[in-house]
């Protein structure tokens, strides 16, 4: 059942993600991170706060803890939970970059994701361990515990429902059909997320309107909890009358947010013509221009088009507050990407033979050039493998064992040595989380300073930190509880202490959920590549392209590099300042290349295979990757490429040429070397050393 509860919660988020596509700027990965933040950060904070104030009230008023819990469930809990669920949005909104680059749609969608995570946690705490007594009925599973039995919808009902709840009381129509409940936590947080968006983006007297959606969410939450803790009251009739508005509320909130964002996007489009595609400027039709480009070569051009639109929306939302300066990094990044798309807006460009091999080569060269640390391949594989191994017991326990036919797997982890095994893995997971937290804290300030262009990597870093803190806190408390009287099989929280969900919170279930929290930290160190790229000298444009477009951006660079820039006589890309003189004075370029090759031939006691310095050298080929020139053959037979400062203008292409040279040299059993003239930028030297080795990269003076 756990798998189905997770699927139902995620499906509601996916529905809103798809509907928000025309105006959303945040990516799918960031939204999924928000779900995990809702589970581990918001869930942990709400639980600790409710535990604290219910116990304090019980001690101060001499009331029973059960009575205090029932009373605060509809008086204090709705406010506490709704505010905690949106607190991550309130906190990341403190960064000006975030609140300027995110639209109302982004805040609304992320609010829905946070609420989905929080509601999913409640469902898992209540029914994740009931696989052995669940009854398959009505296309789903029923947990027989009361007259209004909890119902977990099956796959068909999940896929055919609007915002399906992971679990809700069974509701049968007159014909016996099942009416799947609406995911209330998702609904409430969608409204609250819209309120946060209005708070951060609205101006003047519009800001107080942020209280309206938040107040509506709290009011319905209060009504819902009051009806749940009291026998038949007018509140039940009110809830029934609110059922249809409840289903439509997220849709209405999203449409309102998208309408406001569409107005902002159209205004910015008129003010920033340099960020438009040529077809947009000519015809004024964004949809047609994007669809045309997306149809050129799947899957690359659709990904490039979609991610470019999200990148540009971030700029347009920022322009709503103040028009960015032409030299603004984000504006330059968008304009540069638009120019690259325009340069590759031709079917013939995407029919290049060996395109996939070229993309792989460019991706490898780019990763080498922008690596933040020189970790070995073995270490990188270990950092990926360790969390995958640690999460396996939880996958078997809560995933495989959550169905009636496989309940024996769940029973193993709840009896005998199973809980102790979960505790052992949980201890290892805590150590892993602590290590990841140390990395996140060390890069806390650096992420703020090293991401001058985009807000989303910064927000993702904060989301990962919040999830790690929440899971580390929960794991530490569970470990302390399991080593005491409760043991690994006892209750994590004393009976009758909080709401019903926490009353069923067993220690070994907490350990299993702790292991799943590693998903919020996978892959290890993700989100820090942008900081590394900036630190090693990559410009803001390249950093933004690689960080925002991902592999699609690598594909765009790989295809655009062919014939997109002027070439010097010696095969290297000319710098902007040199481009005009070299392209219009080929004799001068040939003289420069000849002088370099002659000097390197003298230094290495080698020969120039072309027979004429400055002319194209001996062609060598790597299958599926392309060709390059061997400018000098050293006295020891080594293959030598010669160049100068302009090599740094296109690091991806330079790295590709180095890989081809290395391959060709290895086939002949000789060394591959690069000689670069003094004044060549360090990133080019560093890239060549990583590919060929320090001993095979030299600088010289002409």
Residues 25-43 have pLDDT tens digits of: 999 989 999 999 999 999 9
Hey, how many other C-beta atoms are within 10 angstroms of the C-beta on 315?
A: 24
Q: How far is CA 696 from CA 502, 524, 573, 690, in A?
A: 63, 32, 22, 10
Q: Does the pLDDT of residue 369 top 80, yes or no?
A: no
- Judged by average pLDDT, the poorest of 451-465, 571-585, 594-608 is 571-585
Q: Give the pLDDT of residue 541.
A: 41
Of 172 and 659, which is predicted with more confidence?
659
Of 595 and 174, which is predicted with more confidence?
595
Q: What average pLDDT does this structure show over 142-158? A: 84
Sole residue written with tokens 């709503």: 320
Instruction: Compute the C-alpha angle 33/34/35, nearest 5°.
Output: 90
Q: Give the pLDDT of residue 520.
A: 74
Q: Give the pLDDT of residue 452.
A: 55
Q: Give the pLDDT of residue 579.
A: 37
Provide, rounded to the nearest whole percent, the portion of the chain with pLDDT above 70.
Answer: 83
Q: Give the pLDDT of residue 10.
A: 95
Q: What average pLDDT does this structure show over 375-395? A: 81
Q: Give the pLDDT of residue 565.
A: 38
Provide the 3-class DSSP secondary structure of residue 504. Answer: coil
Q: Give the pLDDT of residue 514.
A: 76
Q: What average pLDDT does this structure show over 318-323? A: 88
Residues 389-429 have pLDDT tens digits of: 998 988 888 888 877 777 788 788 878 788 888 889 989 99
Q: Beta strand pairing status for 150-153 and 140-142?
A: antiparallel
Q: Contact 275/338 with Cβ under 8 angstroms?
A: yes
Residues 426-467 have pLDDT tens digits of: 899 999 999 999 989 988 887 776 555 788 888 999 999 999
- Judged by average pLDDT, the poorest of 315-319, 320-324, 441-445, 574-578 is 574-578
Sole residue written with tokens 């920022």: 318
Query: Who contacts 44 (Cβ-Cβ below 8 Å, separation ≥6)?
Result: 470, 471, 473, 474
Query: Who contacts 490 (Cβ-Cβ below 8 Å, separation ≥6)?
Result: 481, 482, 506, 507
Q: Give the pLDDT of residue 365.
A: 60
Distance CA 402, CA 509 (A): 12
Of 343 and 157, which is predicted with more confidence?
157
Where does the pLDDT of residue 327 fall: very low under 50, low under 70, confident under 90, or very high at 90 and above? confident
Distance CA 222, CA 218 (A): 6
Residues 8-20 have pLDDT tens digits of: 999 999 999 999 9
Q: Does the pLDDT of residue 595 top 50, yes or no?
A: yes
Sole residue written with tokens 């999830």: 467
**46-55: long-range contacts, CB 8 A cutoff, minimum separation 24:** 46/80, 46/81, 46/84, 46/85, 46/118, 47/498, 47/502, 48/473, 49/80, 49/84, 50/77, 50/80, 50/498, 50/499, 50/502, 51/493, 51/497, 51/498, 51/502, 53/80, 54/497, 54/498, 55/497
Residues 218-236 have pLDDT tens digits of: 999 999 999 888 878 888 8
Q: Contact 655/368 with Cβ under 8 angstroms?
A: yes
Closest to 535 in 3D by CA, of 451, 603, 463, 641 = 451
Distance CA 323, CA 309 (A): 18
Q: Give the pLDDT of residue 196.
A: 97
Q: Of all helices (H) and strands (E), which one includes residue 621? A: strand 618-622
Q: Give the pLDDT of residue 364.
A: 66
Instruction: Compute the C-alpha angle 65/71/76, nearest 5°.
Output: 105
**Beta sheet of 135-137, edge-to-edge order:** 135-137, 140-142, 150-153, 168-169
Where does the pLDDT of residue 538 fall: very low under 50, low under 70, confident under 90, or very high at 90 and above? very low
Q: Pick the most confident of 298-312, 354-368, 529-543.
A: 298-312
Q: Of all helices (H) and strands (E), which one includes residue 700? A: strand 697-700
The structure tokens listed for 19 are 């509907």
Cα atoms in the 13 Å half-sphere on the side-chain side of 48: 13
Residues 498-522 have pLDDT tens digits of: 344 455 555 666 677 777 777 777 6
Hey, how many other C-beta atoms are within 10 angstroms of the C-beta on 700?
A: 16
Distance CA 513, CA 509 (A): 6
Distance CA 390, CA 422 (A): 10
Whole-number average pLDDT of the chain: 82
Residues 629-688 have pLDDT tens digits of: 899 999 999 999 999 888 877 777 788 889 899 999 998 999 999 999 988 888 788 889
Residue 84 burial (10 A CB sphere; 0-12, 13-18, 19+): buried
The DSSP code for 150 is E
Q: Give the pLDDT of residue 622.
A: 83
Q: Give the pLDDT of residue 652.
A: 73
Provide, rounded to the nearest whole percent, the portion of the chain with pLDDT above 90.
Answer: 36
Rounded to 5 degrees, φ, ψ at 618 are -75, 125
Q: Give the pLDDT of residue 581.
A: 37
- pTM for this structure? 0.77
């Amino acid at each position: 059942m756990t798998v189905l509860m997770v699927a139902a919660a995620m499906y509601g988020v996916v529905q809103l993600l798809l509907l928000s596509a025309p105006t959303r700027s945040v990516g799918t990965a960031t939204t999924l991170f928000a779900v995990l933040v809702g589970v581990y950060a918001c869930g942990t904070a709400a639980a600790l706060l409710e535990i604290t104030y219910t116990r304090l009230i019980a001690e101060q008023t001499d009331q029973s803890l059960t009575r205090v819990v029932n009373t605060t469930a509809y008086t204090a809990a709705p406010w506490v939970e709704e505010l905690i669920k949106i607190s991550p949005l309130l906190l990341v909104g403190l960064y000006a970059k975030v609140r300027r680059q995110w639209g109302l749609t982004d805040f609304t969608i992320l609010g829905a994701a946070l609420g989905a995570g929080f509601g999913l946690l409640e469902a898992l705490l209540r029914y994740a361990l009931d696989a052995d007594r669940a009854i398959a009925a009505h296309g789903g599973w029923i947990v027989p515990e009361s007259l209004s039995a909890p119902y977990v919808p099956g796959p068909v009902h999940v896929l055919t429902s609007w915002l399906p709840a992971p679990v809700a009381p069974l509701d049968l129509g007159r014909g016996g059909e099942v009416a799947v409940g609406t995911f209330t936590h998702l609904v409430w947080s969608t409204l609250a997320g819209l309120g946060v968006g209005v708070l951060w983006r609205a101006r003047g007297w519009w800001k107080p309107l942020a209280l309206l959606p938040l107040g509506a969410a709290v009011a319905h939450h209060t009504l819902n909890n009051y009806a749940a803790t009291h026998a038949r009251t007018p509140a039940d009739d009110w809830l029934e009358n609110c059922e249809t508005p409840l289903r439509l509320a997220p849709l209405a909130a999203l449409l309102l947010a998208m309408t406001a964002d569409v107005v902002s996007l159209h205004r910015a489009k008129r003010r920033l013509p340099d960020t438009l595609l040529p077809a947009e400027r000519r015809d004024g039709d964004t949809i047609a221009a994007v669809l045309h480009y997306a149809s050129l070569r799947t899957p690359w051009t659709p990904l490039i088009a979609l991610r470019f639109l999200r990148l540009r929306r971030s700029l347009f939302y920022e322009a709503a507050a103040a028009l960015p300066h032409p030299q603004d990094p984000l504006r330059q990044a968008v304009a540069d990407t638009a120019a690259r798309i325009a340069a590759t807006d031709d079917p013939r460009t995407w029919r290049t033979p060996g395109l996939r091999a070229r993309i792989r080569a460019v991706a490898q060269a780019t990763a080498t050039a922008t690596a933040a640390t020189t970790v070995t391949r073995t270490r990188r594989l270990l950092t990926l493998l360790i969390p995958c191994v640690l999460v396996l017991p939880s996958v078997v326990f809560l995933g495989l064992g959550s169905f009636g036919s496989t309940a024996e797997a769940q029973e193993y982890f709840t009896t005998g040595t199973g809980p102790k095994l979960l505790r052992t893995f949980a201890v290892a997971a805590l150590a892993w989380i602590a290590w990841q937290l140390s990395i996140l804290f060390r890069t806390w300030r650096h992420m703020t300073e090293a991401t001058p262009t985009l807000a989303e990597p910064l927000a993702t870093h904060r989301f990962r930190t919040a999830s790690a803190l929440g899971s580390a806190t929960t794991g530490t408390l569970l470990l302390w509880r399991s080593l005491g009287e409760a043991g690994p099989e006892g209750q994590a929280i004393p009976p009758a202490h909080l709401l019903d969900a926490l009353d069923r919170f067993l220690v070994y279930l907490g350990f299993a959920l702790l292991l799943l929290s590693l998903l919020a930290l996978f892959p290890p160190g993700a989100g820090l590549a942008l900081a590394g790229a900036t630190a090693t000298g990559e410009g803001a444009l390249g950093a933004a392209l690689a960080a925002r477009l991902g592999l699609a951006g690598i594909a765009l660079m790989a295809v655009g590099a062919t014939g997109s820039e002027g070439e010097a006589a010696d095969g290297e890309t000319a710098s902007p300042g040199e481009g005009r003189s070299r392209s219009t004075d080929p004799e001068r370029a040939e003289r420069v290349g000849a002088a370099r090759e002659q000097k390197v031939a003298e230094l290495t006691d080698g020969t120039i295979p072309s027979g004429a310095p400055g002319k194209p050298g001996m062609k060598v080929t790597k299958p599926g990757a392309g060709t390059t020139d061997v400018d000098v053959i050293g006295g020891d037979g080594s293959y030598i490429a010669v160049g100068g400062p302009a090599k740094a203008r296109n690091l991806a292409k330079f790295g590709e040429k180095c890989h081809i040279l290395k391959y060709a040299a290895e086939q002949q059993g000789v060394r591959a070397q690069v000689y670069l003239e003094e004044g060549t930028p360090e990133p080019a030297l560093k890239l060549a050393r990583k590919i060929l080795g320090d001993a095979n990269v030299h600088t010289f003076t002409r």
